[in-house]
Structure 1
Amino acid sequence: MTWLLVVLGGAVGAPLRYLTDRAVQARHDSPFPWGTFVINVVGSLAIGMLAGMASAGAVGPRTMALLGTGLCGALTTYSTFSYETLRLAERGRGGLAAANVAASLSVGLGAVFLGLTVARAVFA
C-alpha cells in the first residue's frame, strides 16, 4: 500500500515541478536555470522539514512516503539540474554552469539543514 502513496505524491509533484519551472523561468530573461534552482531549493527545504518532523515523531512512515518520497521526489530533479548545467557548459557559459553547481549544492544543503533544524525545534 505504501507504493500507492508514493504514486499519489509523485502525481502531484511532477506537474507541480513543470508548472513552477515554467512560471519562474518566464519571469527571468537569463540563461541561468532559475526554475530548476528554485524548485530544488524549495524541495530541499521541504524534505528537511519532513525529516525533522519524522525524527520528532510528528509524522509517520506513510506521510514520509506520500510527501517525502512521492511529492518531493517528483518535485525536485537532479537529472534536469545535470542536463541544464551541461547545456550551459556546451554553450560556452562555463561560469554560469559552475555557479549553478556551486549555488545548487550550497543553497540546497543549507535549505535541507534549515528545514531539519526548524522542524526539530518546533516539533521537539
Structure 2
Amino acid sequence: MRSRSVILPGGAALCSNLLQRSMRANMIPAVLVFLGAGFGGLMRHIVNITTVRLFGTLSFPFATMFINVLGCFIMGALTAAFAMRAGQGSFWTQHVRLLLTTGMLGGFTTFSTFSLEFAVLVERGEMGPAAAYAVGSLVLCLVGVFAGLSLIRAMG
C-alpha cells in the first residue's frame, strides 16, 4: 500500500497509512463482535432445529432454556479462564474476550426470546409452566455460571 499524505489546515501533514491503521484498530473489535455474534446465532439456530427434530414441537421452550443455561455455563468458564490467564500472552486479549463473550455468547443466548416465550405462556394462561420456566431458567442459568467458574478454577 502506497503512503499518501493528507494536508490539514495549518499545514500539518499526516500519513494516510497512520489514519488507516488507526481506523483498522478501531474496526477490529467491531468486526470480532460481528463475527462472534453470527457464529453464536448460527449455533442457536442449530440447537433449535435439532430440538424440534429430536422432540417435535413442544409447548414448553426447552431449547431456549437449554441455550441460556449452556450460554451461562460457557460465560462462567470463559470468565474464569480469562481471569486466570490475564497477562499471560496475546491469546487472552480483549479481542478474544470480545469475540467469545460479547459476540458469540451474545448471539447464542436468547434472553429476549426467553422474555417473549414467558409472556406467551402467561398470555395463554399457562401460569404453572410460565413460573417453572422463569424460575427454572433463572436458577439453572445461575447454577451454570457458577459451574463454569468452578470447573475452570478446579482445572487451573
TM superposition score normalised by structure 1 = 0.92
Alpha-carbon distance in structure 1 between the residues aligned to 2:44 and 2:96: 20
Matches of 1:12 and 1:29 in 2, distance apart?
24
Residue 99 (structure 1) shift: 0.3
Name which of structure 1's ranges 73-82 and 56-65 shifts more when overlaid on structure 2. 56-65
Between 1 and 2, higher relative CO (CA 8 Å, sep ≥ 6) is seen in 1
Structure with bigger helix share is 1
Q: Which structure 1 residue ranges, 4+ long, deviate > 4 Å from structure 2?
A: none
Matches within 5 A, 1:12-31: 12-26=39-53, 27-28=55-56, 30-31=58-59
Identity of aligned residues (%): 37
Kindly tell me: are residues 119 and 89 of structure 1, through their superposed partners in 2, closer, same or farther at Cα, counting changes over 3 Å?
same
**Residue 47 of structure 1 pairs with residue 80 of structure 2:** no
Count how many residue pairs are aligned between Structure 1 and Structure 2: 123
The AA in structure 2 aligned to 1:113 is F
Tell me, which stretches of 5 or more residues in structure 2 are unaligned? 1-27, 87-91
**Gaps spanning 5+ residues in structure 1: where?**
none
Decide whether the 8 Å contact of 1:22 with 1:35 is kept in 2.
Answer: no
- Cα separation, 2, equivalents of 1:33 and 1:18: 14
CA–CA separation in structure 1 for the residues paired with 2:96 and 2:52: 30
Taking the TM superposition and a 5 Å limit, the aligned residue runs for 1:71-90 are: 71-90=104-123
What's the counterpart of residue 2 of structure 1? 29
| TM-score, normalising length: structure 2 | 0.74
